[in-house]
A and B are shown apart, each in its own frame.
Chain A
């Protein structure tokens, strides 16, 4: 079965950096695009970043562009989110999500990893 296991979350000071990882299993990782979606405490869902199956295309939300970078290592079935210049507003649970290819939907979600930006 499809599994997405996120890691790397924690507490970081404003202006700091953090790198999230998401290990995939149960499907051919190199054939699927991947997303990061976040949810601030008590708030709704916000799409953050997308990377194409081969890493040739990346897209980021306006709120994180220039600060966050998505990447992947298909040899390790892992997707990453490098987060720099973190702000309090970036505090959220970050979900790693598989793209439902061709349908513009999110079909499998990881369990989420919490990032807290606080001094």
Chain B
């Protein structure tokens, strides 16, 4: 199993551009998440999904959109990129249940200039 795969690993955007961060998992997990991590800070939850067709906002959803058309994929869309969105983005997935161990991708480092 590849686990959670994120692309791209690095990206530089200009202010006002848009892009999509891709996330796919091959563990058949119901739950998927997007987090962002600013330098020296903890992770902040952007959006999450409990299954195909179901998404909900996390702690910091403004400026982002998500969709979940399949169990495997959970893309994160940035519209009108701003310097404040410069961050490392992590996608994660998990089973439902008590253990609910989250499996994280390697991260996507985004810089907005």
Question: A and B, one complex?
Answer: no
> Could you tell me which B residues sit within 8 Å of A by CB distance?
none
> Could you tell me which A residues sit within 8 Å of B by CB distance?
none
